[in-house]
Structure 1
């Protein structure tokens, strides 16, 4: 096959003289995106593990009385968390960084929410509440994943469950880091071939089932036609006239 025209990765129409040339271009582009996909998944798993670690650590310090958040202003609580090394929501931070790497315009949801909230009415002479103003800051909302946990979260069972989930995420992360982009591609191809075999096998079974039903219906029709032939008079048959005796006629009439 020659003189093939197709759009390349720059969305420009290009002429390809060989199929191999088209596959080579596709391979390079595909491999590049698998590298980006690997970085994306690593960042996602690391962010999820960091969030679970911080939540479990927060529960431990809260239960051990090492961290006291009761009867404190939000600003003081946030400053205490930052001083102790707690990071803002790792998943939200990772999503923002991932969007920037992908070249997308990132809209800060928290900023949008703050824009929707009414501003303090200073022109009406009402004093601005510093605590309320601080609550609208993004720094507070970044720590909602810790300060927003319910009392049921502050249990040993929940802490152990969070640590178990954290270990699972870290295990997945280590496995992913040990793989190269071509390995991820081959795994997807292997999974695709397995699924393709399953679909084709199901199609063969469906086709065989239809053929089997058709064979049974054909056999039934043949059987019905054979039964019908059994009751049709034969062309070579001889008609036998029934004979009724006079004695039988008299007995029937007498009855």
Structure 2
């Protein structure tokens, strides 16, 4: 049974099977997503994903033991801070926020934590945290990467053909926000972005194998204005957003079934 962590009373929490229950922690970010999307895009996506996971589990595996922890709305967004409204934690602050939450959960007997990460910039710290917590506290921290950029081919196939640079704040993320909070999207103001400094390179590229710690100003419009997003968001629709959610929620459910079997 999937429930929200903060809705349980102390007495109810005492009855939770801590060995079997997965505590899922949604993690977002507070950062620019171009002209058209809200600063809370990753938060909206994280909340929507967590809710859709709950709904899917309630339908398909109603006895799945999960608690959904309150969303963490600010993450590691160093690359976006020069765009107005973006707020980031320092890497060590972000690490210790997550570590202290995991330590608190471990103190009460939980053995399985799943971090639902909805911002790519959070990934390095979460990967380090997962290993450190397992080594130091003896509990398993699973990493669930959701969102538009984590290698899901079905998600990539949803975008408009030829929109090859679709990335942060692009058609995929804009579609996902349209599916959840359409009133926050100003699609008529959207502009496309490309990684101009990397264009034409075969080896030294945005994604590697040789890269650098780029900042989002390096994603520019055709006329050279820093725009901070990848690809053209103008083709975004709520229908595409729902298709994207359905695709990776299905993948996440497959992973959760296997997490349930995990024994340390």
Pick 1 or 2: higher relative contact order, CA cutoff 8 A, min separation 6.
1
Normalising by structure 1, what TM-score? Answer: 0.24
> Which one has a larger percent helix, Structure 1 or Structure 2?
1
Larger Rg: 1
Structure with the largest fraction of strand: 2
